[in-house]
Each structure stands twice: as structure tokens, then as C-alpha cells.
């Protein structure tokens, strides 16, 4: 009898423990929450994103957003994909992932009506004609210059390569102690952007954005063509170096040195994207009114000056997610005009939403002028993903270090690197 | 009743063996498997036989990195031992402030090599580093740029690495020196041995275990160097100072994960060869002593 009572007590205790472990609401109903994983690599907005997630969770108590930030997100996500733990929502997207069917088709999502058509085009996968990613902002890249010095010397946007060199020579003549154009080549991606903007830019202008995207995808651009774009690009850089128009430590100075040199007035021009503006103003608030923004000239005669105007702040949803509705609800909140206005101002980047007006940067008037006046080019998102700007920048390190016998050798090496990564 | 205690001891090794298998043997076997595939790191691996290994011997960048890595190790490992042993001999004597000096010399070894490398970059950066600015203020302009040439950049990397880890090598030698019985020194003094003779016939044979540990760990550490190069030169200019470890990382995340695993196995072999030679050498020395 006592043995039977002992069993009964054990069962009762187990049931009580189970009941205590289940969270109950005040009314006694079981509260179920859905957890969505949000994987991001945006270092600039980690705290801001956490704030927005807290606000969203307050409005939607049944959804929890697990925000994971990784500085090295583009690599970490590969580990996640290999281990089959694809986050529900991510900001890290590349063409290979799209080709592998990692992301869900967003073509019918409601937000496209509010997004600039040009940005929607850049979000469209060329192979399928569908959208597997959405970008909320536009980023721009070009030549930042010291407005005061440009005005004093009567310089304007160079329309040709010769005009650009003439501008730099005028700066050197007037201010021998200053660096006309400053490179921070130790961080080789900053040099890799020269290929991305100056050399790829010519191809994009020549073939048009859709044509160049397709050509990159099909690997039909001949980078080592005699007297082709890459050879002329190398010659252009060597000319700048030989004429002393760039800093003599262009290969060993860092990105931080580049920003500091521009902020302090040591450098008159730098080639960068608008992500640099916030840091320059932090280093020297007086520069807020003194930053000019211009296009980069074509290294090949007969082409117009260009400005990088590309999609930024991309999101994609896992094709395997079990919480599509919850993720869309979260994106709906994040894409609301008030949140996007904040984001645009935090990132100092114009919004891709047509119903968002923000005061995003002191250079916004210049940026508008450039978009309207010059050829807009995009990022080479269809270039082989194994070919990073870090790698291409290393070729320029070697070029500026005199390691190539000729510009043709540089072009041949680039073609080899491209083919290997393709 | 007879209870075999020996067999119990064997079973006690099982947990350690299980952990070793899980975290070393299994990844090694998986790695060997992946080295035989073309794999970008996220899609399905395709069997490629020995293609990756054949590619390694045709890959100029990889072979250049092997050369850089070996040169770095040839500079770093002997210098580390030389510096560590010299410091240990100096600090084995008694003088005021000895413990503080030992602690100061050991301190760099406990700081992250990435942080250390970044600090050295701020000090040594051509044109803009603290050293260059101090020289400039003294009216001396440093000509040339050590980061632009492979040999000079590699020399600086070796010296920074030696500066960081000499303290660790010193501590091991110091422990070895302190374990030498005082009677041996007294006996050699009675026999009229010179300082050099004492060092040759007393110190060196007694230090063999410490020498063995230091030589082998320094060979392994130097051949797998990563952090200090990333922080100081990033492997540049171009790939002139890129080590094989850096190359493996870059290939792994550059959509050539299968190939990078093959290169990692090659690095394993490159490290294994001098380690086995050193082990045999020290074993024969110990036998002779």
C-alpha cells in the first residue's frame, strides 16, 4: 500500500513540476512566442537596431527577434549555411547564395511600390528576373574634396582624365605641402575600390547597367585586352604616382590615415564612399561645411565622369523560414517611413523609399547634383564572389610598388585573378 | 580475489580519448575528406580526388607563401631561443628588481598578438608612426619605407614576434636553469672549469628538456604565424609577407574551402617535418647525455 502511495506521490510531483515550468498568463492561458533570427553585419547600427527591435517587440509581444551581429558577417554566414542554420532574416546577401536558392522570392512583397525603380532593378536577379533581396538605401561613391581649396583655386568637376590630372597639378602647385589625392592602401579594399569604381565603371558605362551585370555574370569582359580598360587604368594610376600627385606612402597608409589626412586638411581629395562622411566630421566638425563631392573621371577617353550610386542596406529572407509572416511583420515595422527616416540619418545615406524625406548628410545637395548630372554606376554584385576588393586592392599595391613590368602585365594578372575566382 | 588495477587505469583514459577524438581526430578526418573536394563552403561538396593537392604545387601564390612562412620561421625560431636563453641566463642571477624585470619581459606574451601588432604598427608605420615622428622632430628624416619591400617587412615582423614571445621562451629556460642542482656548479668550480666549459658540459645537457620544448613550440608557432602579420602588414605589399595560415583563411572564406583544407593539410606536413627531425635530434642528444 505504502509502495503504491509512493508512486502516486512521485507522479503528482512530476505533474506539479511540469505545470510550474510552463509560463502562464494572468488569465491562465499559455502564451506562445515566435522567435525569429536576424543576422546582421552592420557595425554602424548595432545599438540602433537593438532599440528598434525592443520597440517592435513591445508592439508585438508574441514575436521575439534574436539579433546577431558579426563584424565578419560575410564569412560567418557561410559557416551558418554550411551547418544548415540559415537565419530567418539577414543583411548578408551575395549572388552565389541567391543561385543556391538560399533566399525566398520577395517579388510579390508589398514594399516594392514604395521603392525607387532603379533600386528595384538593382535588386532583381538577372537569371530569374525575380527579387530575392530588398535594399532600403542608396549609397554613393566618388571623389571627396576640400571645398575651400577648390573654390580658392577655381577648380570644378573634372570632365576628362586630363582635366582631373590638371586639377591635381594645380593643387600641388598651390599647396606643395599638401597631398592632392590620398590613398590608404594598407587597407587594400580602399585600393580595390579604385578598380571597382574607375575601371569596372567604364565597362558599366559602356554596356549599361543591365548589360554589364550580364557580362560579369557570363564572364565575357576581356580585362586583358591590349590597350583595354584595365591597361589604361593601370597607366592612369602610374601617371599619378610618377607625377607625385598621390601620397608617397599610398601603399602603407591606412584607411584611418586617409580619413585623418582629409579631415585635417593634409589631403585635398580622397576616393571614397559616403560612409566616410560621418567619420570625417567626427574627426573635425569644421569640415561639415567644407566637404565637396564630385564624380570620378573616366580613365578611358570618350566616356563621361561617373558616380557610384548603388543599392545599400540589403535584406533577404531565408527560403526555409517557418516564420515568414512574422519576418514580414518585422520588416513592415522596420520599413515604416519614421523608422527609415531615422535609419537614413543614422547611416548618412539617402533612403530608397519614395515616401521618406530625411536630412541625411551635409553633402546631400552635391549628391543630388551628381546623380542628375553624371553617369550612375552600381557595385559589381555579379563579379565572382571569390574575388574580393581586398584581393584586387593587392594588385594595385603591387602596381604602385613597381612590381609590374608594364600596365599590360597588370591587366593580365587581373584577368588571371578574375578567371580563377569565376 | 585478484583485482587488476592496470585495466582500470586504461579505462580512465577513455574520457580524455573521447574528447581528443571529438575535437581533434574527427575534424582531422573530416578535413582530410574535404581536402579531396571542390567546395565553396556552403553548397554540396563535389569529389575532386587529388586536384586540390596538384593545384597547390602549381599555385604561385601558395608557393610564395610557403617561402615566406619558412623564411619567417628560420628567422624567428632561432632568434626566439637565442633571446630567451640569453635573458634567462641574465635573469638567473640575483640583483634588485629581478622579479619586476622578469614580469616585464614576460608581459608581452600575455597580450593579444593582434593588439600587439596594431601597437607596433602605430609605432613603426613609415612616415606617420611614432618613431618616424620622433626622428623627424630630431631633424632626422628616415628614408625608405620598410613596409614596401618583402625582406625588410619580414625582418620587422620577425623582430616584433621575437620581442613578443622571448619572455615566454625565457620563462621555460629559467625553470630549466633553476632545476640544475647547485652541486654540479660547485663540482665544476672545484675541477677548475671555465665559464664556457660549465655552460657546455653542465648547463646545456641539463637544459635539454627545456631546449626541446622551446625549439619545438617555437617551430610550430613560427610556421603557423598569423596575427602579427595581419596586424602589421596585412600580408602586403601584394602578397609579399602573406603566411600560409593567412592564405588558408583567405581561401577558406574566398569560396575555395575545399582547396584551403588541402593547403591546411600541406601546412600540417610542413610543420611536422622539422618537428620530427627536432624530436629525433633531441632524443639522441638526451641518450648521449
**Cβ contact A97–B40 (<8 Å):** no
Whether the pLDDT of residue B6 is over 90: the answer is no
DSSP A297: P
**Sign of dihedral through CA atoms B126, B127, B131, B136?**
positive
All structural domains of chain A with their residue ranges = 34-138+311-347, 139-310+369-421
**Cβ contact A186–B236 (<8 Å):** yes
CA–centroid distance for B9 within its chain: 34
> Measured between alpha carbons, how far is B75 from B73 in angstroms, rounded to an integer?
5
CB A170 within 8 A of CB A240: no
The interface residues of chain B toward chain A in range 145-204, judged by CB-CB distance below 8 A, are: 145, 147-148
- ipTM of the complex model: 0.81
Candidates 1.25.40.20, 3.40.190.10, 3.30.930.10, 3.30.360.10; correct CATH number of A34-138+311-347? 3.40.190.10
The tens place of each residue's pLDDT in chain A, 422 residues long, gives 455 566 656 655 555 554 444 444 444 455 589 999 999 988 888 999 999 999 999 999 999 999 999 878 888 898 898 888 899 999 999 888 998 899 999 999 999 999 999 899 999 998 899 999 999 999 999 999 999 999 999 999 999 999 999 999 999 999 999 999 999 999 999 999 999 999 999 999 999 999 999 999 899 999 999 999 999 999 999 999 999 999 999 999 999 999 999 999 999 999 999 889 988 999 999 999 999 999 999 999 999 999 999 999 999 999 999 999 999 999 999 999 999 999 999 988 999 999 999 998 888 899 999 999 999 999 988 888 778 888 999 999 999 999 999 999 999 999 999 998 88
Confidence of residue B148 (pLDDT cuts 50, 70, 90): confident
Helix H or strand E segment including B261:
helix B257-288
Q: Which residue of B has its CA nearest to A83?
A: B42
Helix B204-223 / helix B60-91 crossing angle, nearest 10 deg: 150
Pick from B127, B253, B257: CB nearest A249: B127
- Confirm or reject contact between B127 and chain A (CB < 8 A): yes
| CB neighbourhood size of B96 (10 A) | 7
Grid cell at residue A361: 548628410
Common-topology check for domains A34-138+311-347 and A139-310+369-421: yes
Q: Whats the size of chain B, residue-wise?
A: 289
- Confirm or reject contact between B22 and chain A (CB < 8 A): no
pLDDT at A74: 81
- Confirm or reject contact between B104 and chain A (CB < 8 A): no
Confidence of residue B142 (pLDDT cuts 50, 70, 90): confident
Confidence of residue B71 (pLDDT cuts 50, 70, 90): very high
- Which residues does chain A have within 8 Å of residue B253's beta carbon, measured at their own beta carbons? 74-75, 78
Q: For chain B, what is the total number of helices (H) and then of strands (E)?
A: 15, 2
What pTM value is reported for the model? Answer: 0.84
The class (CATH top level) of A139-310+369-421 is alpha beta
Counted across chains A and B, CB pairs separated by less than 8 A come out at 76
Spatial CB neighbours of A325, under 8 Å, sequence gap ≥ 6? none
**Strand ranges inside chain B, DSSP E:** 37-38, 46-47
Average pLDDT over chain B, rounded to whole?
92
Q: Exposed, middle or buried, B186 (CB in 10 Å: 0-12/13-18/19+)? A: exposed
> Measured between alpha carbons, how far is A353 from A85 in angstroms, rounded to an integer?
31
CATH number for region B34-288 = 1.10.3720.10
Strand partners, A39: A68, A90
CB A221 within 8 A of CB A419: no
Give the Å distances, CA to CA, from A313 to A86, A134, A410, B274.
Answer: 19, 8, 33, 49
B46-47 vs B37-38, strand pairing mode? antiparallel
- Which residues does chain B have within 8 Å of residue A92's beta carbon, measured at their own beta carbons? none
**Cβ contact A253–B127 (<8 Å):** yes
> Measured between alpha carbons, how far is A348 from A139 in angstroms, rounded to an integer?
9
Q: Return the percentage of chain B with pLDDT > 70, whole number.
A: 98
Closest CA to A89 of A119, A56, A60, A67: A67
Give SS3 for A267. Answer: strand
- Which residues does chain A have within 8 Å of residue B237's beta carbon, measured at their own beta carbons? 251-252, 394, 397-398, 401, 403
> Measured between alpha carbons, how far is B234 from A304 in angstroms, rounded to an integer?
35
Residue A377 dihedral angles phi and psi, to the nearest 5°: -120, 160
> Measured between alpha carbons, how far is A187 from A189 in angstroms, rounded to an integer?
6
Q: Whats the size of chain A, residue-wise?
A: 422
All structural domains of chain B with their residue ranges = 34-288
- Which residues does chain B have within 8 Å of residue A256's beta carbon, measured at their own beta carbons? none
Amino acid at each position: 500500500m505504502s509502495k503504491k502511495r509512493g508512486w502516486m506521490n512521485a507522479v503528482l510531483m512530476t505533474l506539479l513540476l511540469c505545470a510550474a515550468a510552463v509560463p502562464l498568463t494572468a488569465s491562465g492561458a499559455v502564451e506562445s512566442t515566435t522567435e525569429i533570427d536576424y543576422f546582421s553585419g552592420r557595425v554602424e547600427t548595432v545599438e540602433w537596431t537593438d532599440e528598434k527591435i525592443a520597440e517592435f517587440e513591445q508592439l508585438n509581444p508574441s514575436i521575439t527577434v534574436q539579433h546577431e551581429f558579426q563584424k565578419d558577417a560575410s564569412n560567418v554566414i557561410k559557416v551558418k549555411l554550411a551547418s544548415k542554420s540559415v537565419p530567418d532574416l539577414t543583411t548578408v546577401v551575395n549572388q552565389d547564395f541567391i543561385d543556391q536558392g538560399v533566399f525566398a522570392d520577395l517579388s510579390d512583397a508589398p514594399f516594392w511600390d514604395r521603392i525607387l525603380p532603379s533600386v528595384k532593378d538593382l535588386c532583381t536577379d538577372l537569371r530569374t528576373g525575380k527579387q530575392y533581396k530588398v535594399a532600403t538605401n542608396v549609397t554613393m561613391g566618388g571623389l571627396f574634396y576640400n571645398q575651400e581649396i577648390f573654390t580658392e583655386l577655381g577648380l570644378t568637376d573634372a570632365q576628362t582624365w586630363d582635366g582631373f590630372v590638371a586639377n591635381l597639378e594645380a593643387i600641388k602647385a598651390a599647396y606643395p605641402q599638401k597631398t592632392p589625392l590620398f590613398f590608404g592602401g594598407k587597407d587594400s579594399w580602399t585600393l580595390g575600390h579604385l578598380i571597382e569604381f574607375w575601371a569596372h565603371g567604364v565597362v558599366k558605362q559602356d554596356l549599361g547597367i543591365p548589360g554589364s551585370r550580364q557580362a560579369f555574370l557570363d564572364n565575357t569582359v576581356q580585362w586583358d585586352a591590349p590597350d583595354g580598360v584595365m591597361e589604361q587604368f593601370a597607366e592612369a594610376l602610374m601617371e599619378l604616382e610618377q607625377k607625385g600627385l598621390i601620397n608617397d606612402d599610398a601603399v602603407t597608409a591606412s584607411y584611418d590615415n586617409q580619413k585623418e589626412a582629409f579631415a585635417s586638411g593634409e589631403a585635398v581629395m580622397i576616393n571614397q564612399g559616403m560612409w566616410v562622411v560621418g567619420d570625417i566630421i567626427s574627426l573635425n566638425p569644421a569640415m561639415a561645411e567644407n566637404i565637396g563631392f564630385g564624380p570620378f573621371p573616366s580613365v578611358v577617353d570618350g566616356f563621361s565622369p561617373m558616380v557610384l550610386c548603388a543599392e545599400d542596406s540589403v535584406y533577404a529572407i531565408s527560403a526555409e523560414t517557418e516564420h515568414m509572416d512574422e519576418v514580414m511583420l518585422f520588416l513592415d515595422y522596420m520599413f515604416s517611413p519614421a523608422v527609415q527616416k531615422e535609419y537614413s540619418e543614422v547611416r548618412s545615406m539617402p533612403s530608397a523609399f519614395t515616401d521618406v524625406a530625411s536630412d541625411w548628410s551635409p553633402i546631400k545637395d552635391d549628391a543630388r547634383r551628381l546623380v542628375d548630372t553624371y553617369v550612375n554606376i552600381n557595385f559589381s554584385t555579379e563579379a565572382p564572389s571569390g574575388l574580393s576588393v581586398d584581393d584586387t586592392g593587392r594588385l594595385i599595391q603591387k602596381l604602385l610598388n613597381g612590381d609590374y613590368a608594364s600596365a599590360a602585365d597588370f591587366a593580365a594578372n587581373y584577368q588571371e585573378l578574375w578567371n580563377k575566382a569565376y | 580475489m585478484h583485482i587488476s588495477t592496470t585495466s582500470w587505469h586504461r579505462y580512465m583514459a577513455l574520457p580524455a580519448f573521447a574528447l581528443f577524438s571529438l575535437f581533434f581526430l574527427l575534424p582531422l578526418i573530416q578535413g582530410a575528406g574535404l581536402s579531396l573536394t571542390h567546395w565553396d563552403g556552403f553548397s554540396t561538396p563535389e569529389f575532386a580526388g587529388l586536384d586540390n593537392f596538384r593545384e597547390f604545387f602549381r599555385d604561385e601564390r601558395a608557393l610564395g607563401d610557403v617561402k615566406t612562412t619558412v623564411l619567417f620561421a628560420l628567422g624567428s625560431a632561432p632568434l626566439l631561443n637565442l633571446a630567451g636563453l640569453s635573458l634567462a641566463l641574465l635573469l638567473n642571477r640575483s640583483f634588485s628588481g629581478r622579479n619586476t624585470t622578469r614580469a616585464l619581459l614576460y608581459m608581452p606574451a600575455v597580450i593579444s598578438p593582434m593588439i600587439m601588432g596594431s601597437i607596433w604598427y602605430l609605432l613603426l608605420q613609415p612616415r606617420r608612426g611614432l618613431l618616424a615622428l620622433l626622428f623627424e622632430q630630431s631633424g632626422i628624416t628616415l628614408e625608405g619605407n620598410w613596409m614596401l619591400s618583402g625582406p625588410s617587412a619580414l625582418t620587422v615582423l620577425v623582430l616584433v614576434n621575437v620581442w613578443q614571445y622571448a619572455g615566454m621562451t625565457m620563462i621555460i629556460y629559467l625553470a630549466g636553469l633553476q632545476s640544475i642542482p647547485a652541486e654540479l656548479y660547485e663540482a665544476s668550480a672545484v675541477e677548475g672549469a671555465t665559464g664556457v666549459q660549465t655552460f657546455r658540459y653542465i648547463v646545456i645537457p641539463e637544459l635539454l628538456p627545456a631546449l626541446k620544448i622551446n625549439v619545438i613550440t617555437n617551430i610550430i608557432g613560427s610556421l603557423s604565424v598569423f596575427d602579427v602579420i595581419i596586424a602589421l602588414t596585412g600580408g602586403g605589399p601584394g602578397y609579399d609577407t602573406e603566411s600560409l595560415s593567412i592564405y588558408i583563411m583567405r581561401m577558406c572564406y574566398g569560396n575555395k574551402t575545399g582547396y584551403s583544407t588541402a593547403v591546411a593539410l600541406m601546412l600540417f606536413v610542413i610543420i611536422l617535418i622539422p618537428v620530427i627531425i627536432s624530436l629525433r635530434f633531441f632524443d639522441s642528444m638526451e641518450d648521449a647525455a
